[in-house]
Chains A and B, each alone.
Chain A
Amino acid sequence: MTLELSRLRRRYSDFAALDDVSLTIAAGEFLALLGPSGSGKTTLLRILAGQDYPASGGVRRGGEDFLAMHARERGVGLVFQHYALFRHLSVTENIAFGPRVRPRRSRPARAEIAARVERLLQRVQLDGLGSRYPAQLSGGQRQRVALARALAVEPDLLLLDEPFGALDAQVRVSLRRWLRKLLKELDDEQH
């Protein structure tokens, strides 16, 4: 399904974060937003994730008004810039959070959630670290936990906010390559 953003505007008091942004995102597309800090990248992601609303303009997905949908109905996974992992939960519990807070009728069974978490841990190469807490992980590992947590809700749209911003140059390069491969794999699975 294509996502169509049309003429989005968002101001913060005297500062225009988004000024007339229009954009079409096709299914399976891999899109990067580039710009200096303060250019509205995060604002755009927050609007798509349902954390913020534009002053004017609209977003449509397959004829539906995307902005009128509740955050949880949008099928969006968001990896925060500073990951925002739940510090009181283990890696496993962090990843299982999304499936666990579903309303009862659409919630997967306990065993199914556990299996899904296990698969995701393998996928992000963190098997065996499930019982650790975020404070016990390195930056790169935390980022992969955040990614697995976002993927656990099986989103149609995955948003990464400055995914490599908080990492050192060396980790950044290897992670970028790995992430591109992972997203390609995920995309192949869906089609």
Chain B
Amino acid sequence: MPGLVLATMFITLPFVARELIPLMQAQGSEEEQAARVLGANGWQMFFRVTLPNIRWVLLYGVLLCNARAMGEFGAVSVVSGHIRGLTTTMPLEVEMRYNEYDFAGAFAVASLLALLALVTLAVKTLLEWRYGNEIAAHAPGGH
């Protein structure tokens, strides 16, 4: 299980970083400096200034990350022990059921996965629609 999480993070965290780095570069550190001069310590500076400024882009990044993690097959397949209910992810479950000739089960899990993907897409569209200018202005052209 920790292995799966680790493998998935390795694959997906760059998505969040790719979203955040250009945004933070564009924003600069002036507001953080202002917080410092006004007497904020490091934590206050981060939670009251830095995090609120990047929250929507961070959420967007996490969402893209989630989308990628849901469908991730290669990395998790390598590290997973294929123990049902313990170290499987949905794509792995589909494969296992398919290999066991449980076609109905495989298609059910696959449909569920597709549904989750649609929900993610809906949330992504909602975020883009609501906070589009904030996200688009700093996103590194296309994904």
Contact = CB atoms under 8 A, between A and B. Distances in A.
Contacts of A86: 31, 34-35, 48-49
A98 B33 contact: no
Contact of B38 (A87, A88, A149): A149
B39 A87 contact: no
Contacts of A149: 34, 38
B80 interface: no
B40 interface: yes
B100 interface: no
Interface stretch (A13-21, A57-65, A75-83, A124-132): A75-83
- Tell me what chain A mostly uses at the interface: helix, strand, loop, or mixed: loop
Interface residues of B, number: 16
A153 B52 CA distance: 22
- Tell me what chain B mostly uses at the interface: helix, strand, loop, or mixed: helix
Contacts of A150: 38
Contact of A49 (B37, B40, B41): B37
B38 A101 contact: yes
Contacts of A49: 37
Nearest to A51: B33
A82 B37 CA distance: 15
A61 B31 CA distance: 27
B37 A97 contact: no
Interface string B69-109: 00000000000000000000000000000000000000000
B18 interface: no
A87 B48 contact: no
A136 B125 CA distance: 27
Nearest to B29: A84
Contact of A84 (B30, B48, B52): B30
B111 interface: no
A28 interface: no
Interface of B: 30-31, 33-41, 44, 48-49, 52-53
Interface of A: 49-51, 71-72, 76-78, 80, 82, 84-89, 97-98, 101-102, 149-150, 153
30 contacts: A49-B37, A50-B36, A50-B37, A51-B33, A51-B37, A71-B36, A71-B37, A72-B40, A76-B37, A78-B34, A80-B34, A84-B31, A85-B34, A86-B34, A86-B48, A86-B49, A87-B53, A88-B52, A89-B52, A97-B38, A97-B48, A98-B39, A101-B38, A101-B39, A101-B44, A101-B48, A149-B38, A150-B38, A153-B38, A153-B39
